[in-house]
A = this chain, B = another copy of it.
């Protein structure tokens, strides 16, 4: 049966051979990374998952193998039988793990030939991503990509081990489920047996994991594929993976404690980093006020300061009006920034904040003996003194202010803060700043839908002390919701859930659902609450993003084996594709004619 491998059985992986293997015979198999023909000697760098080993062909060792080796080209797949020998001092290669030895080939079998690859199989190639994805099987041979996917495997394994040890049970929830659009768009799957009906692919296992808590499973987890048919941004994919977990008989502190243990374990075992617990915490309010973001990057300063009280009655109408209309005036002190921005560069910062809705950006440059600013002439000395005090300003600093609705102030200054952090090189890339943001608002107003929508999702419980607000000022209610933030990225989020029919119905009412509509879409959950639901809550992490950050990468596409590109297509398989009319007929659908 072993014609296939020429009767050979692999004895070693390429990258694992060491001095201690010298004088043994080895059978290695892999890809030709490089071939150098020095007349009477041919050197092959042979590559497998573990690394590279040098193989030497010489007529003296074996004439037949030497002859065959002349035909080898990059990416040929071969099996080599040979002797492991010590390299001479001057040929030792300290750059590779196997650099002290080489294999003298006694036998060579070609297992697979290769055309010239469209790009070299090595790290740091300068190739368009589309070409890499079209030939993904070549791209994935690169050591960097192999490491990325192995890290992903490791993170999943660590997570499963930890949660299993903690008594969590992994349960698989359905992929073909019910469409309950709320938030993102569903991917739909036409039903063959029920003409005109459709399944939806899950946006998350949320409803099912809650049902599992009502089923008494107590602690559930799943590393689950989820689907959202949204327009792709840089770090979004149509399908993505969540580490999803849920616990019964818990409140916020229990979920937070468990998840701190989990994330610390992942950091320790995946990349060898110690995380000190407990993690920092910021309330949503504090995060917005200090960083202008609910996922603050706390690796650098440039914190926001509120000067609204100081300028409330100012002659500078821009400031005074913002406060009068319920907004605020806030600023950032760019310490020692006074001489880092020419007038033209300050104008560029003004344009920058405008892209986030701000109407302008006021600046004050502080030199040793004067303030330069287009706005100081409108401010009283008291106001100026107040501002400088509030901003901890000193000579050499640059102050930047936005006056507007809070929303706009936070967003534009938060973005400006990040931009300045990068531009001024204030971010320590080796640092991993993990923290919780808590006490999120329960609701947020959707301009698009002209109604309040759930900030997290409609199943999130209000904070106990804010439940009564649902009847009066629901927009003021805070939720038992918490996000885990890493270096300015939300890597996970969760909440304690509502577990009573009454409160859940109240929540749907606040969201503007009629009772009928709520029951039609989520009746199975509301009904389940009537048969003994335990208090429960949980968490979900974006695995793709987590692994990306652990690997120090910029895009989740580099930690996904076969990702889609921006337009949700796959350059390798060319999916999606037109299908046979027969298939559509069986599914009781037809394609609409384009207008």
Is A569 a contact of B218 with CB atoms below 8 Å?
no
Of B187, B208, B564, the residue contacting A562 (CB under 8 A) is: B208
A443-486 to B contact mask, C-beta < 8 Å, 1/0: 00000000000000000010111000000000000001000000
**A174 part of interface (Cβ distance < 8 Å):** yes
CB-nearest residue of chain B relative to A529? B112
Tell me if B160 and A191 are in contact (CB < 8 A). Answer: no
Q: A171-B149, A215-B136, A575-B176 are in contact. Are A1 and B251 (CB under 8 A)?
A: yes
Is A490 close to B, CB under 8 A?
no
- Asked whether, in the complex, the Cβ of B587 is within 8 Å of the Cβ of A590, the reply is no
CB–CB B157/A1 < 8 A: no
Chain B CB within 8 A of A2 CB: yes
Q: Does chain B have a CB within 8 A of A114?
A: yes
Copies of this chain present in the complex amount to: 2
Q: Which of B171, B225, B252, B576 contacts A561 (CB 8 A)?
A: B171
Are B578 and A464 touching (Cβ within 8 A)? no
A178→B570 contact, CB < 8 A: yes
The number of chain A residues with a CB under 8 A from chain B is 134
Cα(A505)–Cα(B268), bound, Å: 48
A549 interface residue, CB < 8 Å from B? Answer: no
CB of A105 closer than 8 Å to a CB of B: no
Name the distance in Å between A117's Cβ and chain B's nearest Cβ.
Answer: 6
Flag if B173 contacts A2 (CB, 8 Å). Answer: no
Interface pair B198/A171, CB less than 8 Å apart: no
Question: Nearest B residue to A571 by beta-carbon distance?
Answer: B524
Are B578 and A198 interface neighbours, CB within 8 A?
A: yes
Q: How far, in Å, is A75 (CB) from chain B's closest CB?
A: 4
Chain B residues lying within 8 Å of A115, measured Cβ to Cβ, are: 530-531
> Shortest beta-carbon distance, A481 to chain B, in Å?
12
Beta-carbon nearest neighbor of A568 in chain B: B193
Is A176 in contact with B227, judged by CB distance below 8 angstroms? yes
Check B5 against A464 for contact (C-beta < 8 Å). Answer: no
| Interface core residue of A47, A135, A253, A592 (most chain B CB under 10 Å) | A592
> Which residue of B has the minimal Cβ distance to A196?
B591
Spot the interface stretch: A138-146, A273-281, A301-309, A403-411.
Answer: A138-146
A346 within 8 A of B: no
Pick from B79, B197, B241: contact of A577, CB under 8 Å: B197
Q: Indicate if A153 sits at the interface (CB-CB under 8 A).
A: yes
Residue pair A114, B29 in contact (C-beta under 8 Å): no
